[in-house]
Structure 1
Amino acid sequence: MYDYYLGGKDNFAADRAAAQKIIDLAPDAPEKARANRAFLGRTVRYLAAQGIRQFVDIGAGLPTQENVHQVALAEHPDSRIVYVDNDPVVLTHARALLADNPNTLVVEGDVHAPQAILDHPDVQAHLDFDRPVATLLLAVLHFVQDDEEANRIVASLRERLVPGSHLVISHIYPGNHLAETIRAGARIYDTTTASLTGRSLTQIAGYFAGDMEVLEPGVVPVQAWRPVEKVGIDLVAPGILGAVGKVLRSRVRP
């Protein structure tokens, strides 16, 4: 469905039908998807400029249309990227697309099991977790229904990040959308991919609480995160919020 919103060709009839139902409910859904993809490009480009050379993209989907490896490798050819997804079709396509790119790795993994992702032997061999890593959770946490589980996922990933690492998150935000519209959209996703759960600005900001510095401009609509041209920050309208946090110190495990 996301690929369809972006105008891609890697989607099935069922994806297109479901995505069109979402567009009927929220006509700006493709625009929001494109804004999220542009947010990915700007954040990766910024992090690469800050010296980050390692990226883990969890729930990556198909690595096409200016994705992490394209942006990071354009900035620094020695960058190393790991894409993680649990969809066998995505994995097959991604591995075929990136077969000749030794700096990228595609592994099977599930956001519900973050430790298994980081402990995957191929991931361990590809990245050095004693050095800064950028972990990306773009438009994926809203597929985790339980708030406490979403918090645990983020905490587990943060535990493994050394100072200087970064966490990038984008997440569906309901704004002032009517409750029935939100429920109707959630029902469509229930029948196609996974349940969709919008969260408040406070909940999303909470993923960065503690030992992280949230980089300016903070938790904002993705189109307002360091745009090329100035964009107003609208926290009333529904959309996708995004933020980048920098790890200031390592967590001490109990």
Structure 2
Amino acid sequence: MTVELKEFHGRVVRHLAAEGMTQFLVVGAGLPSSCNTHVAARETQPRARVVYVADDPVVLSHGRALVATDDDTGMVEGDLLDPDAIIDDPVTRRLIDPALPVVVIIPHRLQFTPDVDEPYKRVGELRDWMPAGSHLVVTHAVLDSRPKTADRVVPVYQRIFRRTEDASRTRQQVLRFFDGTELIDPGLVYIRQWRPDHPLAARNPERIWTVGGVGRKPGP
């Protein structure tokens, strides 16, 4: 995860924790860093419970050794494309109370997932599991400001992930992942524009190529 993405997620987690959120599920966790979700959340919610989900053996190993070191933090082996396995994992069931609002964070996995894998359906399954008052956080690279770049970028992704499908999306297509939620201010924007710590930090937002947003599931 890039520095800009880590800063965005830090701002989101701190904001939601300050709003009273105490449960976090990170689907597609990366290697441990100083910007981990449990660190940011516990600045205002000392007993925040956090579950990290990863399918990379290296991330799982490091996470279990360096992150899942207390009773309120856990690592789960799983993948966004199998939400039921994540939800039913004993670690998730121990740490996440399905009767209380939860923050589901999908940091970067979707931009590598083509439509043939039904990502909208899988995100929808997670959303349906989330109780009212929960939040969905999604980031996704887009090429809206550089449409001609897609011809060069897409083949690189295809080679790296050994796929023939095109997983690139526009901002409007990313917006569909928030169906069934209400985007909180400032909406789905380039991540530099999402509640920056300083106005200067939001300059040239499109240079990052990545949009992010937070959707709240309606209800109490």
TM-score, normalised by the number of residues in structure 1: 0.78
CA distance in 1, matches of 2:210, 2:116: 17
Among residues 232, 235, 239, which one is paired with 2:209 in the alignment?
Answer: 239
Change (3 A) 1:87 1:126: same
Change (3 A) 1:197 1:150: same
Change (3 A) 1:161 1:187: closer
CA distance in 2, matches of 1:115, 1:194: 27
CA distance in 2, matches of 1:233, 1:213: 26
CA distance in 1, matches of 2:10, 2:165: 26
- Provide the identity percentage: 35
Among residues 178, 203, 209, which one is paired with 1:208 in the alignment?
Answer: 178
Deviation at 1:100, TM superposition (A): 2.8
* Pairing 1:181–2:181 present: no
CA contact (8 A) 2:100 2:131 kept: yes
CA distance in 2, matches of 1:86, 1:66: 20
CA contact (8 A) 1:57 1:136 kept: yes
CA distance in 2, matches of 1:99, 1:45: 20
Deviation at 1:188, TM superposition (A): 4.8
* Pairing 1:42–2:11 present: yes
Deviation at 1:180, TM superposition (A): 2.4
* Pairing 1:190–2:161 present: yes
CA distance in 1, matches of 2:59, 2:82: 18
* Pairing 1:90–2:59 present: yes
Residue of structure 2 equivalent to 1:199: 169
CA distance in 2, matches of 1:49, 1:207: 25
CA distance in 2, matches of 1:232, 1:98: 33
CA distance in 1, matches of 2:73, 2:208: 34
Unaligned runs of 5+ in 1: 3-32
CA distance in 1, matches of 2:130, 2:176: 17
Among residues 61, 74, 78, which one is paired with 2:43 in the alignment?
Answer: 74
Alignment of 1:144-155 (within 5 A): 144-146=113-115, 149-155=118-124
Among residues 100, 105, 116, which one is paired with 2:85 in the alignment?
Answer: 116
Residue of structure 2 equivalent to 1:227: 196
Deviation at 1:225, TM superposition (A): 0.4
Kindly provide the amino acid, as one letter, of the partner of residue 212 in structure 2: G
Residue of structure 1 equivalent to 2:70: 101
SS at match of 1:155: helix
Deviation at 1:190, TM superposition (A): 2.6
Change (3 A) 1:204 1:183: closer
Unaligned runs of 5+ in 2: none
Kindly provide the amino acid, as one letter, of the partner of residue 111 in structure 1: L
Kindly provide the amino acid, as one letter, of the partner of residue 121 in structure 1: P
TM-score, normalised by the number of residues in structure 2: 0.90
**Could you list the per-position Cα deviations for residues 86-142 of structure 1 after superposition, in whole angstroms to 9, with x for gaps in the alignment?**
111111111010253221000100111011101112211111010000000011111
Deviation at 1:233, TM superposition (A): 7.0
CA distance in 2, matches of 1:141, 1:45: 23
CA distance in 2, matches of 1:241, 1:195: 21
Deviation at 1:218, TM superposition (A): 0.6
Deviation at 1:209, TM superposition (A): 2.2
Residue of structure 2 equivalent to 1:7: none
For structure 1, which segment, 40-49 or 61-70, has the greater mean C-alpha deviation from structure 2 after superposition? 61-70
| Count of aligned positions | 216
Change (3 A) 1:183 1:208: closer
Deviation at 1:63, TM superposition (A): 2.4
